[in-house]
Amino acid sequence: MVLILDMHQTNAPAPIRSLLSLDLNLLKALHALWQCRGITAAGRMIGLSQPAMSHALQRLRLAFADELFVRGPGVLVPTPRGTELCLAASAALSALERVAVPAEPFQPGSSTRRFRIGMNDYVSATLLPRMVQALAGQAPQAALEVIHLPRGQNQDGPLLPRLLDEGRIELALGQIDDLPPRCRRQKLREDPHVCALARAAWPAARPFDIGAYTGLRHVRVSSFPERRSWVEKVLEAQGLTRRIAVTVPHFMAALHLVARTDLVTTLPLGAVAPFAEALGLHVLPSPLPERLHHLDMAWLNAGDGDQGLAWLRGMIVETVLRG
């Protein structure tokens, strides 16, 4: 049931005009609701009972003259004003904690920290093994927790910033789209696109031009099959089309498909080269106009003072450059 506030009730306090008039403990409640998306779980996070947490939410709604959170399918969904306030509260609390509780210097050799990283299957198949090796040598007691990195957005906006805001990941690795100002992005590498086919499906001496490319059936990699890909846009500009036989969400699925069929796929070189020999693939230059695939790293500006995260980013940069 959605609570409809009547701000004209005579017994309701007026919306705040100054932050000094707000009980700052309510910011902790707001942050907990943002992270947990439920009254009971949020209360448990900050040590409040379910009725006390419901009362805190009511006070927040009255103070900011907004619903802040409404009932969704099994969770509380923030309103646009609620999202704005939650992001500000999270940043303020993080900044205050860094000042009030200074972090101890990060020591890789003795750290038992678990780093939470978002990445797609391309990164986890190619870069992650080298990261694990580097971690074993430099921070043997530390651990990595890998979370699938989705692209696109939902009703709350782009997915990646929300994963960072909620602390579900501390760092993201992949081809990352534009980010809001509260996030930072670093470009790590650029790869050309290539075409991968089974050796049995394409003789090495046979020319591979745009006519050959459009004459084959294709495996398309996309998390959003309803969208026109950059390949379709390039071909349409030339009055051409391609026949898509299969659409899959993962790079590795595409490679295994073309290895066992007469299909072709177009992928970044970095996603193909490490597996071409084992899978028996031809790796051919793409006949399409060059379009580079970029590998990026992203994190919150608020994490710049995190010594452990800074060390991890440096280790990743070294690992990527070495590869």
Calpha distance 155→274 (Å, rounded)? 37
pLDDT of residue 93: 77
List, in order, residues 6 or more apart from 222 with CB less than 8 Å away: 229, 247, 249
CATH of 19-100, one of 3.30.450.30, 1.10.287.110, 1.10.10.10, 3.20.20.140: 1.10.10.10
Q: Is residue 156 exposed (0-12), middle (13-18) or buried (19+ Cβ within 10 Å)?
A: middle
Same fold, 19-100 and 114-190+294-322: no
pLDDT of residue 17: 54
User: With contact defined as beta carbons under 8 Å apart, do 244 and 255 qualify?
Assistant: no
User: With contact defined as beta carbons under 8 Å apart, do 147 and 114 qualify?
Assistant: no
* pLDDT (tens digit per residue) in 58-69: 999 988 889 999
Q: Locate the domains of the chain by residue range.
A: 19-100, 114-190+294-322, 193-291
Residues 129-147, mean pLDDT to the nearest whole number: 93
Q: Return the CATH fold of 114-190+294-322.
A: D-Maltodextrin-Binding Protein; domain 2 (3.40.190)
Q: pLDDT grade, residue 4 (50/70/90)?
A: very low
* pLDDT (tens digit per residue) in 141-184: 999 999 988 766 554 556 788 888 877 899 999 999 888 888 99
- What is the second-level CATH architecture of the domain 193-291? 3-Layer(aba) Sandwich (3.40)
pLDDT of residue 20: 55
User: With contact defined as beta carbons under 8 Å apart, do 160 and 179 qualify?
Assistant: yes
Residues 232-260, mean pLDDT to the nearest whole number: 95
pLDDT of residue 157: 54
Residues 255-264, mean pLDDT to the nearest whole number: 96
